[in-house]
Amino acid sequence: MIFNLTRRQSAKTLFSAVLALALSSGVSFAEGNADVMIGFTPKFLKDDFQTLMLDLSKKAFDAKGFTLVGAPDPNGDIAAQVDALTNLMANGANVIVFAPLDAAGIVPVVEKANEAGVLVFSIDDSPAGGKVTATVRADNVNAGAQGAEEMAKRLATAPCSKDDSCIVLELQGALTTPNGLDRSKGFAETLAKLAPKVQIIQRPTEWTADMAADAAQNVLTQNPNLAGIFMASELMATAVNAQLSAAGKGAAVGEDGAVIRIAIDGTPQGLQLIRDKALDATVSQPLSAYATKTAELIELVHGGGKIEIGPRDDGQVIDTPVGPQYQLKATLVTAENVDSPDLWANQVGK
């Protein structure tokens, strides 16, 4: 009789009953994932992007049944990031996940992980050496291309299109970084293809608002009829808008004489600029997907699967010298979809 079962038999019987109930209810246990021990580091926790990436990653790891060994904040210091990841491995992490502060500076810990048989996942950018299990980042060429498509669409109805006199300023990111190169490539090549008669003036900014403002001021002085500005990052937008206002070109989106302004990132500040009619559009990074895709790939590889090269519904996987790179599609944001709950900026603080 059941009342005479040993304690071990009773526990086994209870577990079997619960498991059967869970399976019949469509609930799945993350069996086999409990031994996935993750050490995670963001770049820093002083902006919304990195903070939300950490929060979403924790939720994605927990949903898979992974164990988080730790997630220390290196506070923008690459040496601290390397030390943190080294310590996490010493404390049992068999998977490390990080947003690298410096592509070259992160290499020593990647190589240590390779030697120890630890899986390596990089988010938003790739290390310059060693081997990664996978890098998960936005398709920045596509993000730039989406910005160009929207620019070409809006230029088609601008007065300058009537006499093929449209001039567009491209404020590039740092061309020493993959994101800077890819965004510029996607924008410039796509706009040249879609609107070959548009003159593109390119200026590097090293991702700084000050350099963007100086470049905008100089180009506006020489080209007062500037029709559009593309910014590789929204961090330039406020400074650029100030220069437009100073030059008497600060008309709101949709008003006569307005300069078309398009950017990349999809920050809360950028989305607010769209609501305020101070930015026509931006291309939002797939931050939410960074977390879920990384967790999905960890589970795949841990289970003996392989990350295949090729196109995907949500992007593409390409081969790189350091390993496979999963490039996720970004999302164009305009006044029509700026309040969508799917955009990462609208998830901050939720």
pLDDT in tens, 146-187: 999 999 999 999 999 999 999 999 999 998 888 899 999 999
Domain membership flag for residue 21: no
Cα–Cα distance measured from residue 259 to residue 237, given in angstroms and rounded to the nearest whole number: 12
Together in a domain, 177 and 233: yes
Together in a domain, 226 and 297: no
pLDDT in tens, 55-72: 999 999 999 999 999 999
What pLDDT score does 178 carry? 84
Domain membership flag for residue 338: no
- What's the whole-number average pLDDT of the chain? 90
Q: In the 8-state DSSP scheme, what is residue 194? A: H
Together in a domain, 209 and 251: yes
Domain membership flag for residue 160: yes
Domain membership flag for residue 58: yes
Residue 241 has pLDDT above 80, yes or no: yes
What pLDDT score does 346 carry? 94
Together in a domain, 280 and 293: no
- In this structure, what token pair is assigned to residue 68? 């988080």
What pLDDT score does 64 carry? 96
Domain membership flag for residue 9: no
Together in a domain, 271 and 324: no
Domain membership flag for residue 62: yes
Together in a domain, 153 and 174: yes
Domain final residue, candidates 268, 284, 300: 284
Q: Print burial letters for 49-70: b (CB count within 10 Å at least 16), e (below 16).
A: bbbbbbbbbbebbeebbbbbbb
Residue 48 has pLDDT above 50, yes or no: yes
Residue 13 has pLDDT above 50, yes or no: no
Residue 19 has pLDDT above 70, yes or no: no
Domain membership flag for residue 7: no
Could you write out the DSSP letters of every residue in 5-62?
A: --HHHHHHHHHHHHHHHHHHTT----TT-TT-EEEEE-S-SSSHHHHHHHHHHHHHHH
Residue 195 has pLDDT above 70, yes or no: yes
Q: How many domains does the chain have?
A: 2
What pLDDT score does 212 carry? 97
Together in a domain, 297 and 183: no
Together in a domain, 165 and 235: yes
pLDDT band at 32 (very low <50, low <70, confident <90, very high): low
Q: In the 8-state DSSP scheme, what is residue 258? A: P
Together in a domain, 247 and 297: no
What pLDDT score does 107 carry? 97
**Residue of 157, 232, 150, 165 whose CA lies nearest to 198:** 165
pLDDT in tens, 212-237: 999 999 999 999 999 999 999 999 99
Instruction: Judge whether 200 and 232 are in contact, CB under 8 Å.
Output: no
Together in a domain, 65 and 190: no
- Give the torsion sign (CA, 295, 297, 298, 304): positive
What pLDDT score does 20 carry? 37
Together in a domain, 164 and 210: yes
What pLDDT score does 24 carry? 33
Residue 277 has pLDDT above 50, yes or no: yes
Domain membership flag for residue 32: no
pLDDT band at 47 (very low <50, low <70, confident <90, very high): confident
Residue with tokens 């950018």: 125
* In the chain, % of residues over pLDDT 70: 91
pLDDT band at 31 (very low <50, low <70, confident <90, very high): low
Cα–Cα distance measured from residue 305 to residue 30, given in angstroms and rounded to the nearest whole number: 16
For the chain, the first-to-last Cα distance in angstroms comes to 52
pLDDT band at 349 (very low <50, low <70, confident <90, very high): confident
- Would the pTM of this model clear 0.85, i.e. be above it? no
Together in a domain, 96 and 204: no
Residue 73 has pLDDT above 50, yes or no: yes
Which CATH number does the domain housing residue 300 bear?
Answer: 3.40.50.2300
Q: Across residues 1-14, what is the average pLDDT? A: 36
Residue 319 has pLDDT above 80, yes or no: yes
**Residue of 203, 221, 199 whose CA lies nearest to 212:** 203
pLDDT band at 190 (very low <50, low <70, confident <90, very high): very high
Q: In the 8-state DSSP scheme, what is residue 277? A: T
Q: Which domain holds residue 168?
A: 140-284
